[in-house]
Amino acid sequence: MTYEFHPPGRTGLIFQGGAALLSLLAGGYFFFRASQSPTGVGFIFNMLIALAIFSPLPFLIYRLYALNNAIYVLRRNGLMIRWGLRREEIPLVDIEWVRPATELGFRLPLPWFRWPGAILGTRNVSELGQVEFMSSDLSHMILVATREKVFAISPIEANQFMAAFQRVSELGSLTPLDAQSVYPKAFVGQIWKDRLARLLIFAGLGVGLLLLGAVLIIITGRDTIAWIEPGVPAPAERLLLLPILNGFVFLFNQVFGLFLFRRGGKLQIAAYMLWGNSALTGFILLVAGLLLAL
């Protein structure tokens, strides 16, 4: 007997997807302006704006992924909550009570850093103790209390969830679920234990730092460099585009590789290839920077 429930996702997907798209377009605009700037000052100014606009993009993409894959699974042996890389497995015997947040009799403090589709975080509430939010919507919020903490979730079929919990509680648990709390840092720990993964990641990071150092040495010794168009000089600061581009590639490869690695099997090999690609990309850009400086 298994019941699966999902949080309301439409509003959150539209809001976070729109914010991610806006960040991508606005950051890309200033990145393009930086690449076309005729002066070093203009390049640095536009590049700093682009980096500031790009900075929340990985966070927004992860929140989109987490919301799209969030699920609450209720069985006779317990409740499983999954939100992105966060997973909680609660034995049925550990659940003390379940009730809608609207029936608390007081206003429930919410996480400080939240928006539509992502009511996530932990708050200490004097009446309840520690409350961990894995929810996307206030109107469907249900509280699941255990001895250690209270979990705030938001199944879109809130009434059906309450009825299903009542049903499995009456039937009782034959084989209690093993209590387990999995946090995103656990996956990072798995990668750290893998020798090949560590080697490839540090190789990509090392080549990236070497590229950045080489570019900084080059631009401090000259005012202009040859660029894409023959005979048309460009400010030396434009070479900073190479380590910045390499940084974007490195970040994408690390994050996407993490999701592939955790699935294991052949996808784990794909993660190794992505991490190795970071070092290869950095080396190619390093050679390109040295050629442009000649």
Position 240 in a domain: yes
**Residues 268-293 pLDDT 10s:** 899 999 999 999 999 999 998 888 77
Asked whether residue 180 carries a pLDDT value surpassing 90, the answer given is no
Mean pLDDT across 103-108: 87
Burial of 265 (0-12, 13-18, 19+ CB in 10 A): exposed
Position 44 in a domain: no
The mean predicted confidence, pLDDT, of the chain is: 88
Indicate the number of domains in the chain: 1
The highest-confidence range among 125-129, 139-143, 177-181, by mean pLDDT, is 139-143
Q: 188 lies in which domain range?
A: 184-294
Report residue 160 as tokens: 């059906």
Position 150 in a domain: no
pTM, 2 dp: 0.82
**Residue 231 confidence (pLDDT):** 62
> Cβ(67)–Cβ(117) under 8 Å?
yes
**Residues 222-250 pLDDT 10s:** 777 776 666 667 788 888 888 999 998 99
The residue behind tokens 């890309």 is 28
Position 250 in a domain: yes
Position 46 in a domain: no
pLDDT-derived band at 11, boundaries 50, 70, 90: very high
Q: How far apart are CA 135 and CA 210, in angstroms?
A: 43
**Residues 138-161 pLDDT 10s:** 989 999 999 889 999 999 999 999
In DSSP terms, 71 is beta-bridged to 82
Position 52 in a domain: no
Q: How far apart are CA 28 and CA 32, in angstroms?
A: 6
Mean pLDDT across 100-127: 90
**Residues 27-65 pLDDT 10s:** 999 998 888 887 778 888 988 999 999 999 988 988 999
**Bigger pLDDT: 111 vs 178:** 111
Position 189 in a domain: yes
**Residue 229 confidence (pLDDT):** 64
Position 242 in a domain: yes
